[in-house]
Amino acid sequence: MEAQSAARQPLVVTREATVEVLRGLLDHRFAPLAVQAWASLMRWGFIARPEARGPIEPIEIEFDEACEELISEILSRLDELEDVIDGEVTSGEILELLQLLGEP
């Protein structure tokens, strides 16, 4: 019963989760490729894999309404990690994003 109830709950990317991932990237607790995969999953509802066959049915993930636009922008930026052109996020950029989220 509990699992069924939890399955009906919307999945939400919170401000706190976004802060934790940014801090983990800044502190080198999370590898850039892992952060990129997380951002991609949160943004699109699936992780693209070249070996996947058949249709992909994304899961629906919402963003915290209080800072939905900012979280969306941050996920978009983190989804670019490891890209040839925009694939690096500097410590200064991470600190700016944390400040935008209200972190000291």
* pLDDT per residue as tens digits for the range 7-24: 678 899 999 999 999 999
What percentage of the chain reaches a pLDDT higher than 70? Answer: 87
Q: Which contacts of 32-37 are long-range, i.e. CB under 8 A and separated by 24 or more positions? A: 32/81, 32/82, 32/87, 32/88, 32/89, 33/81, 33/82, 35/78, 35/81, 36/78, 36/79, 36/80, 36/81, 36/82
| Contact predicate 81/39, CB 8 Å | yes
For 54-63, write each residue's pLDDT tens digit: 667 889 999 9
Amino acid found at 53: R
Cα–Cα dist 55/65, whole Å: 30
Cα–Cα dist 66/63, whole Å: 9
